Structure 1
Amino acid sequence: MKRKTGILLVAGLALTLAALGLQSSHTRPKAGSLFSWNRTAVSAEGIEAVLTVNEQLPLTQLFQEFPLEMLREKTEVQRFVSQLHTQGIDCYALMGDATWALHEQAEEVLSRLILVADYNETSSASQRLRGVVLDIEPYLLPQWDTEDRLTLLQDYADQMVIYYKQAKALNLEVVICLPYWYDQDYAEALEQLISEACDQAAIMNYNRHDEAGQLVREVEYAQHSHKTLIAIYEFIAPGKHGLESNNTYHDASLDELRQAWAGLQEQFPQGKIYPGYHYLEEVQAFLQRQ
C-alpha cells in the first residue's frame, strides 16, 4: 500500500540536461558508469583518477557521493562537475542508506532531493548534476531477518515509487541500485522498481558464473518499460564484505572483463544495457595491476 509523506514538493526547476554520448565496441566495454564513494574525490586528483579510468574503461556517467555541506556551498561541486562535463561525463549525486527503505525516513530523503535540485537551480548547465543515485538496500535492515520479507520489500518498492515521483517533480533523473537476486522470490516488486521507480536500474550482478542468465528478467522488465539497465561489476578483493572470488573481478584480467561484457552484448544485442564499475579506488587499482 502506497503511503503519502505529507510533504510539499518543490517543483518546476527548469534544467538543461546534456544528452548521453554512448560509445559502442565489441572489443571493449561500452561507455559505462563509475561509482565513487570517496568524498575527497571532488578534487583535481579525483578528476585525474576518474579520467585515468576513462582511458581504458570509457565512461559517460560518474556516480559520486558528496558531503551535504559541499552541495550547499556549491563551488567545489560546480568546478568538479564542469570538468567532467568537458570530458562528456555526466555526474549524479550518489546517496543511500538502508533505513531509507522505510516510510519513516521519507522526509530525510526528500530533503536530500531538494538539496540537489537547489544546487542545480543556482548552477550553470555545465555544472548541473543530472540526477541522483539511490543506493537503498532493505535486506541490510534488522527487520529483514525478523519480519515478513515480502511485505518489507513491497513497502520499500512503494516508497521508491514515491521518491521517484518527487525526484521527477524536481527535474532529477533517478538511478536505483538492485541486487541480481530479486527476481528469484520478489519478481513483482522487482518489476515495479524497474518500471515505476527509476530511469536507470543498476543491477549488482555479483555472480560471475551466470552473468547473462541472472539478468534475463531484469532486461525484460527494462525493455518493456523503456528503461536503461546497468550491469555492475565488482572489484573489491575477495574476503571483504563477504565477497568470494566468483563475486568480483579483483583478481581477473582486463581481457576477462572485456570478454564478460562482450558476452552480455551478445546475449542482449537489442537491450539498453551498459556496464557499471564499483568503485573508483578499486577500479583504479585493478587497472594498475594490468
Structure 2
Amino acid sequence: MNKNQTEKRAWRRLGAMVLALVVAGQALACSPLPGIGGSPAIAAAEEQQSVVSTWMWNPYVIADKGNTLRQLTEKGVNRLYLFIDPDFSATYYKEFISEAHARGIKVHALNGAPGWVLPEHNDKMYDFIYWVKQYNVGARAEEQFDGIHLDVEPYVMPQWKQQSDAMIGLWTDTVSGFVQEVKSDTDLTVGIDMPVWLETYRVRDGYGGMTTLSDRLMRMVEQVTLMAYIDNAKDIIDSVQNELAEADRAGVPVLIAVDTVDSGEPGGSFHAKGTASMSAELGKVHEAFAGHASYKGTAVHEWDSWLQIGR
C-alpha cells in the first residue's frame, strides 16, 4: 500500500508521540514467519536464508533501538526497508543500523511517492539518493545502509487512467534514472516495489522488441518486492505466478509481500485475521515457491500495523 507525501509528513509531526508510545511498550509476541528462526542467524549470509522483510515508514521508532530491534528479531525480520527523513538525526540511523547488523538484519534506505515519476518532481528522488550516498560516506562500515529501495506507484494518480502510456514511460524512465544514479558510484543493492498485475501491460523491452511492464522493470533492478496484498495463500500464489516465472528467467530475486494495514478492501489485508493466520498463509506461499530460483522470501507491509494486529 503506497504512503503518500501527506502521510509521510504526518509521521514527522507525530514522531514524538509515537516514540513515547513505543517506549511505553508494544511488546506483542508472535511466531517468526516461515524460514526464519526466532534468534538472528548472524553467521549466515542473507542470500542463503529465506528473507523476511518489512517496511518501516515511521523512522522515529529506531530512537528506541533496543525495543524495536527486539521486536524485529522476535518476528524473524532480517531485512528492513527504513524510511529516510532528512530532518531526523543521522546519529539515530547510525546507532540503529550498527546494532541491526550485529543481529543479522540488513537495512535498506526507503523512500518514494507516486508523483516522483513526473519531471517536475524527479529532483525529490535524486535528493533521496544523494542523502543516502552522503550518509554512507560519513558512516563507519557497520553503520552503512546495505541497499536503497524505491516505492513509486504512479498508478494511483489520476493521470494513469487518462494517459497510461505516457505514465508508463515516465515510470520506466524514473526507475532507470534511479538505478543509474545509485550505481554510478556506489555498490548499494537497488530494489523496488511492484504490484502483481503489471504483466497485463505490453511495453518496449529496450532491445527492439516487446515485453511485459513487470519484466521491463524487473530487469532494471537487483531486487523486487511484489505487493500481493491478498489475505489467502491460494490467491496470493495465483497472483504472482507470471512474475515469478519472469523473475526466474531474468535472474532477479523476489520477495512476496502481504499487507497488515486496515485498507478497507475486502480480502486485501491480514489486519482483521491476525498474525497466526498470516503466518500460516505465508507458510503455504513459501512451500509453493521454494523451488523457484528467484523466490527469496516474504515481506510484511508495514511495521507499525504489523505490531498492532492480534494473534
TM-score bucket of the superposed structures, by smaller chain:
0.7 to 0.9
Q: Paired residue for 1:189?
A: 213
The amino acid of 1:276's aligned partner reads A
Q: CA deviation at 1:181?
A: 1.7
Which stretches in structure 2 are left out of the alignment for 5+ residues?
1-42, 203-210
Report the CA distance between 1:249 and its aligned residue.
Answer: 0.8
Paired residue for 1:265?
286
Q: Compute the displacement of 1:82 (Å).
A: 0.8
What secondary structure is seen at the aligned counterpart in 2 of 1:177? strand
Pairwise CA distance, 1:159: 2.1
SS at match of 1:58: coil
TM-score (norm: length of structure 1): 0.81
CA distance in 1, matches of 2:244, 2:162: 31
Alignment partner, residue 58 of structure 1: 76
1:157 aligned onto 2:157 = no
TM-score normalised per structure 2? 0.76
Gaps of at least 5 residues in structure 1 are: 1-17, 25-29
Task: Report the equivalent of 1:37.
Answer: 57
Between 1 and 2, higher relative CO (CA 8 Å, sep ≥ 6) is seen in: 1
- Percent identity, aligned pairs only? 20
* CA distance in structure 2 between the aligned counterparts of 1:49 and 1:86, rounded to whole angstroms: 14
Counterpart of 1:201 in structure 2 is 224
The structure 1 segments of at least 4 consecutive aligned residues displaced by more than 6 Å after TM superposition are none
Following superposition, the deviation at residue 160 of structure 1 comes to: 0.6
Could you say if the C-alpha distance between residues 19 and 53 of structure 1 is closer, same or farther in structure 2, counting changes exceeding 3 Å? closer
**Separation of aligned partners in 1, 2:214 and 2:54:** 23
Matched, 1:138 2:154: yes
What is the CA distance between 1:109 and its match in structure 2?
1.4
- Aligned counterparts, 1:177-256, within 5 A: 177-186=193-202, 188-196=212-220, 198-208=221-231, 210-239=235-264, 243-244=265-266, 246-256=267-277
Instruction: Name the aligned partner's letter for residue 182 of structure 2.
Output: A
Q: Count the aligned residue pairs.
A: 256
Q: Offset of 1:211 from its aligned partner? A: 0.6
Cα distance per residue 1:215-253 (max 9 Å; x no partner)? 1121122222221111111011252xxx22x10111224
1:21 CA displacement: 2.8
The question of whether the paired residues in 1 share the 8 Å contact of 2:151 and 2:192 is answered with yes
TM-aligned CA deviation for residue 155 of structure 1:
2.6
CA deviations over 1:151-192 (Å, ceiling 9, x no partner): 311331132112112112232222211111212335622111
Secondary structure of the corresponding residue to residue 215 of structure 1: helix
